[in-house]
Chain A
Amino acid sequence: MDPRKLRLGFLLATAAMALAFLLPPAPGAQPLSARPYVWEMSTAACLSCLLAAWRADLAAAIIGLPAAVLAAAASLLLLDDRMVAGAAGPGFWLIVIAAWLSAGLCVATLASLRQLRRKAQRAIDFLVPLLFGATVFYLWEVGVRGLGVPPVLLPAPSAAAARFASSLPTLGTDFVQTFVRGVLIGYAIGCGAGLLVAILAHRYQFLSRGLVPLGNFFAALPLVGIAPIMVMWFGFDWPSKAAVVVLVTFFPMLVNAIAGLSAAGDIERDLMRSYGASHRQSLTKLHLPAALPFIFNALKINATLALIGAIVAEFFGTPTQGIGFRISTEAGRMAIDMVWAEIALAALAGMAFYGLVALAERATTFWHPSYRT
């Protein structure tokens, strides 16, 4: 990053921190200098911003990071004061701006690093989005509590996290009901069936000619709409959710796997033929491995679709547990922090699921050009 811009940015952050000492954090509240811990933190943040502005190079990013953390901690401590929460004044927002500026500058500096060794690169690739996300969550927290947004509208992330921690048993049963029973079983059946039919279609040309247009057509349909019918057929419990997931995941897998099974090159096919390979041998040794990138593509698409399908199916009737059920009832009772806790649960489950699929992809398709660097 341009050192002049970097210096300017950190100078602005320093100025904001210095101004925060002069202005009260809220109308009628104690000034910063009269608060223990807060003023020490703010002073340290201010000084490290100044130091970072003086260096204005890679070291600035490393100095700016603690500055951002200190400023953020100071502003969060300030929010514990009743006078500040909900009625924060310019003094408070200046600290927030300083924290945001220095965090943003650190992210920008780290992200624009080039030509690193592989390990350092990987660490940066991990660190930068993490810092970015932490900044976003910090701004959300401070914004909601500083402005006094009613919790019914948007709870602070800390409130949702506290709710998450205090209702772990409920979340656990919901997770088992929706994810383990509905999503995982349906996903396994849907993807497995899609792959099997694709293998059959690969064997019999006639089948594949008919199935490809049909599969494409069905894959584009809003299939989650079938949920009320599945609830009618399979009852309120998890089989109906799994059935929706099966339907939703089947067609993407079918279409992708058919495309993947015909992805092997002519030369490889000729080689298999010249070895006198049987159909089964060429399937397991050539066509299936060549189809793996396509199959994993479908598995990744389906990971999201499956979760959505299961949650939507729960809107049409459930036993009294499950993520979708809890979300709709708690939203009806205006317990929005519980809703956000459920969303966090679903997001964590979804990300872990996707991450596992992606890891499996890396382990099995390491030969693919997109992974060779």
Chain B
Amino acid sequence: MTSSAETSSSFARPHRAPASRARDLLVERYAPLVTMVLAIVAIWYIAAVAMNWTLVRDAYEREETPYTISDVLAGTMDAERPLLPAPHQLAAAVYDSVFGYPPLAPRSLVYHALVTLSATLLGFLIGSLFGIALALMIVHSRVLERSLLPWIICSQMVPVLALAPIFIVMLGALGLHGLLPKSIISAYLCFFPVTIGMVKGFTSPDPLQIELMRTWSATPRQVLWKLRWPAAVPYLFASLKVAISISLVGAIVAELPTGAEAGIGARLLAGSYYGQTIQIWSALVVAAVLASGLIAVTALVEGGVLRRMGAH
């Protein structure tokens, strides 16, 4: 905060100790969030009791053992195949499958997360490079802008995931297996936001600046490297953050119809075949952790790059 802002605000408001103001800001910022999260957890517990109730009660009645309400209540908290696992049960399952096995054992979620992560990253790399290349072509050619851009938008209306089984068949016939088909699907999903964002970014410089470059008789390449690229960097990171989460979705979903043996999508599918609800939920938790981790890393890189480029 600059000193002038400090003085003007201290004129406007009664003086307070800086520590208490910082604490107030903290409370103002996080109290609603914490309340919301606590509310969700509470609703979750109540829902777990309500949804698992008949399940547990029926089990007792089938075994014809006498039971009390508190027995059923306890049962809803640690049923083996609950409709909705209680949060602590889920946390224990996630902890167990992450730390309970060596990281490369097929029962460890770390292993599955790594498989999906590698497909995600490869797809993200292919997709964003392709997206940037497309944006460059579109920015430099009016013909491509007119003829290609509408089709790029249309391509996103095709439910790409529907293409996944075919991609697997096609690429399998060409002798490609494993990582690449999944990555191509996630690349197909994630190139679009990059292209659109980068077209916007490359065309974001002021017309005045472009004219200035022309008065210096800069070549198109010089205009690109010295003006368009730096101007496009904020747009690049904004679209990369979208792209990486989409890329993860693509990698997970590509594992569904391909009958993959490993990966988060494969865990989801296996869990749904065998009715292992806790396994599905813990795969979902790991996917969520992965998604937020990837976005956080992108945001960190963004912060670093923008700082080096002189942003405050």
Contacts and interface: CB of A to CB of B under 8 A. Distances in A.
Interface of A: 107-108, 111-112, 124-125, 128-129, 131-133, 136, 150, 152-154, 206-211, 213-214, 217, 220-222, 224-229, 231-233, 303-304, 307-308, 311-312, 315-317, 323-324, 327-328, 331, 334, 336, 339-340, 342-343, 346-347, 350-351, 353-354
A232 B32 CA distance: 33
Contacts of B147: 107, 111, 128-129, 131-132
A217 B293 CA distance: 11
B187 interface: no
Nearest to B294: A220
Contact of A347 (B28, B35, B158, B169): B158
A364 to B, nearest CB: 20
Contacts of B248: 222
Given A209-B31, A221-B292, 7 more contacts: A107-B147, A222-B248, A224-B253, A231-B272, A233-B83, A316-B256, A336-B166
Given A112-B142, A214-B33, A346 B162 contact: yes
Question: Which of A222, A303, A331, A346 is the most central at the interface, judged by chain B CB atoms within 10 Å of its CB?
Answer: A222
A232 B277 contact: yes
B165 interface: yes
B143 A111 contact: yes
Contact of B165 (A129, A131, A150, A339): A339
Contacts of B245: 220-222
- How would you classify the secondary structure of chain A's contact residues: helix, strand, loop or mixed? helix
A129 B151 contact: yes
6 contacts: A132-B147, A132-B151, A136-B151, A213-B33, A316-B272, A347-B158
A325 to B, nearest CB: 11
B159 A347 contact: yes
Contacts of B268: 225, 227-228
Interface stretch (B125-133, B204-212, B280-288): B280-288
B13 interface: no
Contact of A229 (B148, B159, B249, B280): B280
A161 to B, nearest CB: 16
Interface string B262-278: 00110011011001010
Contacts of B269: 228, 315-316
B154 A351 contact: yes
Given A154-B170, A222-B287, A331-B257, A206 B159 contact: no
B249 A350 contact: no
B160 interface: yes
B224 interface: no
Interface string B8-31: 000000000000000000001101
Contact of B157 (A136, A211, A323, A347): A347
Nearest to A214: B36
Contacts of B36: 210-211, 214
Contact of B162 (A111, A208, A343, A354): A343
Contacts of B145: 111
A222 to B, nearest CB: 4
A219 B46 CA distance: 24
A331 B166 contact: yes
B252 interface: yes
A222 B173 CA distance: 30
A331 B169 contact: yes
B220 to A, nearest CB: 16
Contacts of B28: 209
Given A331-B169, A339-B165, A225 B284 contact: yes
A47 B154 CA distance: 36
A347 B155 CA distance: 8
A347 B83 CA distance: 35
B161 interface: yes
A153 B157 contact: no
Contacts of A214: 33, 36-37
B161 A311 contact: yes
Interface in B156-185: 156-163, 165-166, 169-170, 173
A304 B156 contact: yes
Nearest to A215: B36
A308 B257 CA distance: 13
Contacts of B157: 303-304, 307, 347, 350-351, 353-354
Nearest to A352: B157
Contacts of A351: 154, 157
B249 A224 contact: yes
A76 B295 CA distance: 50
Contact of A111 (B37, B146, B161, B249): B146
B66 interface: no
Nearest to B33: A210
B263 to A, nearest CB: 12
